[in-house]
Amino acid sequence: MNQPEPVLLDFSLLDRQIVDSQGLMVGNVDDLELAVTDQGRLQVTALLSGQQVLGDRLGGRLGRWMSAVARRLSPTPDPQPLRIPYDLVDTVGSEITLTVAKDLLAEPPLEAWLRKYLIDRIPGGRDASQ
């Protein structure tokens, strides 16, 4: 585990690319989930990723519009943001590396939908390029 001490939440975590243990891209850190512990302390519990989360964070008319678009583009009626528990975070540096592979995390619905209904329908989408 390689994380700076102390961690600046906005500077070091927010808006950084999340990468899995194989180097594949998972998403950006669009927000952080904070929780108040029983002892009354504030803990960073999870990374949050997703266009709706980003829209909520941007706020204002722009943010609301982005969240609305994200909801409309989502195939499920009530999309949940991608939530990555903080203990899956390995290193915090130029990118946020996780200890697990991407497959273990929920796939963003838009990616799944586009893959199934568009990309896989075009010949050649499955293999690596020639």
Partner 1 sequence: MRASDLLGRDVFDTAGNAVGRIVDLIARHDADGQLMVSAALVAPGRRTRLFTYERPALAAPWLVHTAIRRLHGDVNEIQLSDLRLGPEARELPLPASLRQPDGDENS
Partner 2 sequence: MKRLLAITLGILTAIGGFVDIGDLVANSETGARFGMSLAWVVVVGVIGICVYAEMSGRIGAVSHRAVFDLVRERLGPRVGLANLVGSYLVTLLTLSAEIGGVALALELASSVNYLLWVPVAAFAIWAALWRIKFETLERVFGLLGLCLVIFIIALVQLGPDWGDLGRQAASFQPTEGENWATYGFFGVSLFAAAMTPYEVFFFSSGAVEEGWTRKDLITERLNVFVGFPLGGILSLAVMGCAAVTFLPVGASVSDLGQTALPVPVALGRLGLVIVILGFFAATFGAALETGLSAGYTVAQYFGWQWGKMVPPRRAARFHTVVLVSVLLGLILLLTTIDPVQLTEYSLVFSAVVLPLTYLPILIVANDRDYLGDQVNGPFANILGVSYLIIIVVAAIAAIPLMIITGVGA
The Cα 65–Cα 59 span in angstroms is 9
**Binds 65, which of partner 2, partner 1, none (CB < 5 to 8 A, cut-off by type)?**
none
69, interface contact from partner 1, partner 2, none, CB < 5-8 Å by kind: none
Q: Shortest approach of partner 1 to residue 107 CB, angstroms? A: 22
Q: Please identify which residue in the block is written with the tokens 């964070």.
A: 57
- Return the amino acid letter for 86: Y
Please give the structure tokens belonging to residue 91: 């290193």
Decide: 57 and 30 in contact? Cβ < 8 Å: yes
How near is the Cβ of 80 to partner 2 at its closest, in Å? 17
Look at strands 17-19 and 96-98 and give their pairing: parallel
Of the pair 14, 100, the CB lying nearest partner 1 is at: 14
Q: Which residues bind partner 1 (CB under 8 A)?
A: 3, 5-11, 14, 31-36, 38-44, 48, 53, 56-57, 59, 86-87
